[in-house]
Chains A and B, each alone.
Chain A
Amino acid sequence: MRYINAIIKILTFPGSLLKGFWEQLLCKFFGVPVENKKYLQFNEMAGHVEHEPVSGNKSFWFCFVSGFMVFITGLIFAVPAFLNICFLDVTSSTLKIVSLICLYMAVAMFTNLFPSIEDALMMWEKYKEMGKSAKIIFAPGAAIMYVGAYAENMGITFLTNAALAAAMLLL
């Protein structure tokens, strides 16, 4: 499974590098020591930085902010790609090429939204320690990130995104 994950991370390198970049930046911000700053490795940590566990509620924001920033970047690429390819179906070759590149970038971003399983587990542990009201507020985000981390590790997010992109192109 880790090889599949690593291959996917390499295929979607703009997204995995960006995700790693945001994780490292957040490590700096939260004062978390980074053990290995290589983003693209051939193991389960591909697309992430190796760092010490993030303590307290910071772990939620660490997972959320890095994923959210990649998501926003993905949206920037997804909107023109969707408009030109799916909504308008442009015929101009220049527009088509730019739109296809945008589509690839969007897939690359949306495939790298979730935290590593280690981070997700840590975040989940900290989430369980939260108060009742905080639990309710953070429940959707925590659940999505927790499930998403496993889905991403198994390549499900990549398959979903690739299928959506194919549907946009073919249907």
Chain B
Amino acid sequence: MDENKEKELLEGDVEKNDTLTEQEKDEVSEILENLKKSKSDSENQVVTDWDGLAQVGNTDEDIVAEETVKKEENAETDEEDEEDISDAIEDELCINCGKRKRYTELDEDYPYCKSCREKMKKTRMNAWGVLNLLFIIAMAFVAVVWGAYAAGVAIPVIKGDKYMREGNYYSALACYQEAVSSVESLNSETTGTEADFDAGNRTYARIIKAYYNIGSLVSAQDYVSVLKEAGALEMPRYADMKKYSDVLSGMADTCTAIQTKYQNLFMELNYATEKKDISDIRKELAEIDKFKADKKYNKYAVAYMQVYLCQYVENSEAEQIKYLLELKEGGKDYEAIWASQLCMLYLDEGKFDEVEKICNDIIKASPESVEFYQYLMKIQIKKNNPEKALEIYKKAETTVNGIYYSTEPLSMPYTLLTEKAVCHALMGDKEEALNAIEESFGLNLDIHSANIYALLHYEYHVKGTKPSEKDGEKVYDSKDNGYDIVMGIFESNGISVNEDVKAAMEGKKTLEDVLVKGEAYLK
């Protein structure tokens, strides 16, 4: 038994029992009797005649000295014997109470008596253990509360990760943004001046990754800035984010440098009363081209600036395609810049195969990229296959219905609804066409959609009718006033109606001429 245990037992951890039962007293007396008996037996054996014989011939002094030595020896022997007795008693008595016989029925070497054993079964709990338990309970409570907050953020993130693995990046993005919003609402509920909760750098990194996967890295700029400010980009776990950050900052730096250098040209093109021709800016475009060889600049950003310049001038489609193809080499990093624009230019050029390839590749990589379905619909419309275009629309509709959105069901993009209206108009479904364009108009409006809206309302509501008068003003669309509203929008924005649409309204062109044979996008 070690010192600690002995000390503990002596301290009364296991209580000593002072009252012995009759049986226990008998046992102890028996042990003592046996020991006394064995002692006296051994003493008798020591005293023999040899002691007397040894003294023959000795003087009185010798005898006295010898007896003194003998007495001393006997005293020592007595002490040793007493020690032996006490050892023997200890060997048979309980090491805790020292009063009762050991409980040897259990084990030969068992050191405690039965009574002490029973008491050891009821040993009080260790105070430190109880205190530690209380401390752990308190800590566990804190952990559970904070863990619940963390889970509130983590659950939509986990859901988002599942979507990411499936390639549904729009749904994933919606989930991650839901996590960010939940943290924002949590912080707005807390009264503290400093925000205590945050969605975490990894959530922001996931959002950036999702944006990258949908080919819209530029949209992730804000989140990249958050990581940059937190100093997270230097950590190995954010190596990917560092790459994206470098792309974005390289792009911003290059664009700023070119814009600063050609500030006057940009001003001139922006405020010119008459649109210039591509031949007017060829010299500058060639100069800017030299930036691409300089490693200080991002060559894709240079191409992007060239596209940007070309958009201000006429007859620049070939140049735009050339620069966009350069951007295409940059891959996913710049997809948001080149993909849609290249599809639109190719559609105008009649390069349907190229458009189909671009769209299918993007949809394959990111099935929820519904905006690319509109280009596929346009191909079919241009081929005068409105039924096939509607089939594509239905695919897009299924995709949109499958996209996760936390607050309300996601509506179809207005661009697809406009194309749906065009399909129905070509098929002669007047009501369906009007419903679709009305729905599109309710969501958003661009020049192409506004022209389609004006054209369809003219065709179905105004054509063949006489304008009425209301408050001294002519009202052309007596059914729902739609035509008048959109024409008012054109007028107030200083934009004129598309030439083909105007011709159709004048009866010079048919719907098919405008929608199938005309421009892919009515400008």
Q: Which residues in A have some Cβ–Cβ distance to B below 8 Å?
A: 13-14, 17-18, 20-21, 24-25, 27-28, 31-41, 43, 49-50, 73, 76-77, 79-81, 83-84, 87-92, 94-95, 98-99, 101-102, 105, 170-171
Pick from A34, A40, A90, A99: contact of B198, CB under 8 Å: A90
Subset of 30 A-B contacts with CB under 8 Å:
A14-B132, A14-B136, A17-B128, A18-B133, A21-B132, A27-B123, A33-B117, A33-B120, A33-B123, A37-B123, A37-B125, A38-B8, A39-B129, A43-B2, A49-B126, A73-B140, A76-B140, A81-B143, A84-B150, A84-B200, A88-B200, A88-B202, A89-B201, A91-B200, A91-B201, A92-B198, A98-B146, A99-B146, A102-B139, A170-B236
In B108-148, the 8 Å CB interface with A consists of 112, 117-118, 120-126, 128-130, 132-133, 135-136, 139-140, 142-144, 146-147
Residues of A within 8 A of B362 (CB): none
**Complex CA distance for A65 and B231, rounded to whole angstroms:** 45
A95 and B196 in contact, given A21-B132, A38-B126 (Cβ under 8 angstroms): yes
A88 and B130 in contact, given A33-B121, A36-B8 (Cβ under 8 angstroms): no
Q: In chain B, what residue has the closest Cβ to A70?
A: B136
Q: In chain B, what residue has the closest Cβ to A50?
A: B5
Q: In chain A, what residue has the closest Cβ to B144?
A: A76
Chain B nearest Cβ from A133, distance in angstroms: 31
Residues of B within 8 A of A79 (CB): 143, 147, 150-151
Residues of A within 8 A of B129 (CB): 17-18, 20-21, 24, 37, 39
In B177-212, the 8 Å CB interface with A consists of 195-203
The answer to whether B154 touches A21 (Cβ under 8 A) is: no
B343 at the interface (CB under 8 A from A): no
The answer to whether A102 touches B143 (Cβ under 8 A) is: yes
Question: How many residues does chain B have at the interface if contact means C-beta atoms less than 8 Å apart?
Answer: 48
The answer to whether B157 touches A87 (Cβ under 8 A) is: yes
**Complex CA distance for A94 and B198, rounded to whole angstroms:** 11
Extra A-B contacts (15), CB below 8 Å, given A87-B200, A90-B198, A105-B143? A18-B136, A21-B125, A25-B125, A33-B117, A33-B121, A36-B2, A83-B151, A84-B146, A88-B153, A88-B202, A88-B203, A89-B232, A90-B200, A91-B230, A95-B198
**Complex CA distance for A89 and B232, rounded to whole angstroms:** 10
A24 and B120 in contact, given A80-B147, A88-B150 (Cβ under 8 angstroms): no
A80 and B146 in contact, given A18-B132, A20-B129 (Cβ under 8 angstroms): yes
Q: In chain A, what residue has the closest Cβ to B6?
A: A36
B275 at the interface (CB under 8 A from A): no
B237 at the interface (CB under 8 A from A): yes
List 8 tightest A-B contacts by C-beta distance, closest first.
A88-B200, A80-B147, A33-B120, A21-B129, A17-B132, A83-B150, A89-B201, A89-B202
Chain B nearest Cβ from A87, distance in angstroms: 6
User: A35, A76, A77, A98 — which one has the most chain B CB atoms within 10 A of its CB?
Assistant: A35
The answer to whether B123 touches A24 (Cβ under 8 A) is: yes
Residues of A within 8 A of B196 (CB): 92, 94-95
**Complex CA distance for A115 and B128, rounded to whole angstroms:** 20
B13 at the interface (CB under 8 A from A): yes
The answer to whether A91 touches B198 (Cβ under 8 A) is: yes
Chain B nearest Cβ from A92, distance in angstroms: 5
Residues of B within 8 A of A88 (CB): 150, 153-154, 157, 199-203
The answer to whether B135 touches A14 (Cβ under 8 A) is: yes
**Complex CA distance for A17 and B146, rounded to whole angstroms:** 24
B493 at the interface (CB under 8 A from A): no
In B6-35, the 8 Å CB interface with A consists of 8, 13
The answer to whether A95 touches B197 (Cβ under 8 A) is: yes
**Complex CA distance for A95 and B151, rounded to whole angstroms:** 13
The answer to whether A92 touches B197 (Cβ under 8 A) is: yes
**Complex CA distance for A13 and B50, rounded to whole angstroms:** 70
The answer to whether A80 touches B143 (Cβ under 8 A) is: yes
